[in-house]
Chains A and B, each alone.
Chain A
Amino acid sequence: GAVVSQHPSRVICKSGTSVKIECRSLDFQATTMFWYRQFPKQSLMLMATSNEGSKATYEQGVEKDKFLINHASLTLSTLTVTSAHPEDSSFYICSARAGRMNTEAFFGQGTRLTVV
């Protein structure tokens, strides 16, 4: 399958600071990327969908000004958690799809964010 790389795999930051997470498709061009969040012992919840060159579409209840998503190239999308608070501590994971629908999307390895 295709390779999606996410960086960093773990990050600890102080409350009030911002953290950027990168999601790269290494061997294909990702026209669409999805960002999910997974709290401990819970399921994955979609945060937003981003298409290259367009503004992200956020799910209900997700603050777009707090979770900034940029998908400026076909191989890179970034999620910036601004003014992070301890309740933002979670596992953030991206998935990327090449081309049109009905082709599998591949997950990155996830980023464990801890806000202290």
Chain B
Amino acid sequence: GENVEQHPSTLSVQEGDSAVIKCTYSDSASNYFPWYKQELGKRPQLIIDIRSNVGEKKDQRIAVTLNKTAKHFSLHITETQPEDSAVYFCAASMAAGNKLTFGGGTRVLVKP
């Protein structure tokens, strides 16, 4: 089955700096790679996703890159703000709406 590794497990950045989280996956059949933000006790919130036919996608301060050959994808958050502090999860799936395999999560702390 699919295995998703995520690094780092914790990330502390100064407000205004960028944050980068990296994930690798094992199953070449995976084609859908969402990123979720989860606050304590809440449901995961989809913040951006990318499909395998695209190498990069951007939405305001958030961008995701995908290297299908190397089987890795990354989340980039620019101009970080304290409200970006949360746990971020990457995931992989064969398609949107299919079962997700999650990475281990990254706890991001943005220091004011």
Q: Which residues from chain A contact B32 at a C-beta distance below 8 Å?
A: 102
Complex Cα spacing A45 to B100, Å: 8
A46 touching B41, Cβ below 8 Å: no
The contact size tier of chain A is 20 to 34
A54 within 8 A of B: no
Residues of B at under 8 Å CB distance from A?
32, 41-44, 46, 89, 94-105
Chain A nearest Cβ from B109, distance in angstroms:
14
A25 within 8 A of B: no
Residues of A at under 8 Å CB distance from B?
32, 34, 36, 42-46, 49, 91, 93, 95, 97, 100-105, 107-110, 112
Chain A nearest Cβ from B101, distance in angstroms:
7
A104 touching B42, Cβ below 8 Å: no
A42, A104, A112: the one within 8 Å of B96 (CB): A104
Closest to A105 in B: B97
Assuming the contacts A107-B43, A107-B44, asked whether A46 and B100 have C-beta atoms less than 8 A apart, the reply is yes
Q: List 16 A-B contacts (CB under 8 A).
A: A43-B89, A43-B102, A44-B44, A45-B102, A46-B101, A91-B41, A93-B43, A93-B44, A97-B97, A100-B97, A101-B94, A101-B96, A102-B32, A103-B97, A104-B96, A110-B41
B42 touching A109, Cβ below 8 Å: yes
Indicate the member of A43, A46, A97, A100 with the most B CB atoms within 10 Å. Answer: A43
Closest to A108 in B: B43
Closest to B46 in A: A104
Chain A nearest Cβ from B111, distance in angstroms:
20
Chain B nearest Cβ from A78, distance in angstroms:
18
